């Protein structure tokens, strides 16, 4: 059987093997490097937005609890509950539609 030069020889060392034959991180990512770096930046921005929205929900719930429990003011409790509800709705919509594209 003739030797095919396109097939890597099993006796080749790692330094002799072409770069595309070694998987990166357990799998081979076929996307260009620029695309992968952009995805990392988008993921960090996405994570920051989700964290800020979650903090908005926590702050709204805290304001509602303090308004109702400590201050016994329904207006403050309603405002805090509304803030938490708006943050929750925005977070759900962002998670549903934020990953597209």
Question: What would the mean pLDDT of 79-93 be, rounded to a whole number?
Answer: 96
Give the model's confidence band at 23: pLDDT under 50 very low, under 70 low, under 90 confident, else very high. Answer: low
Would you say 66 and 76 are in contact if contact means Cβ atoms under 8 Å apart?
Answer: yes
pLDDT tens digit sequence for 26-73: 556 565 555 555 666 678 888 999 999 999 999 999 999 999 999 999
Exposure letters 40-53 (e unless 16+ CB within 10 A, then b): eeeeeeeeeeeeeb
Q: What pLDDT does 97 receive?
A: 86
pTM to 2 decimal places: 0.59
């Amino acid at each position: 059987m003739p030797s095919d030069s396109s097939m890597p020889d099993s006796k080749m060392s790692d330094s002799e093997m072409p770069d595309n034959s070694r998987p990166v991180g357990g799998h081979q990512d076929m996307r260009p490097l620029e695309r992968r770096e952009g995805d990392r930046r988008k993921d960090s921005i996405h994570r920051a937005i989700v964290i800020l929205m979650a903090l908005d929900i926590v702050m709204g719930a805290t304001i509602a609890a303090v308004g109702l429990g400590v201050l016994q003011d329904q207006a403050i409790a309603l405002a805090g509950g509304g803030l938490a509800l708006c943050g929750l709705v925005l977070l759900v919509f962002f998670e549903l539609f934020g990953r597209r594209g």
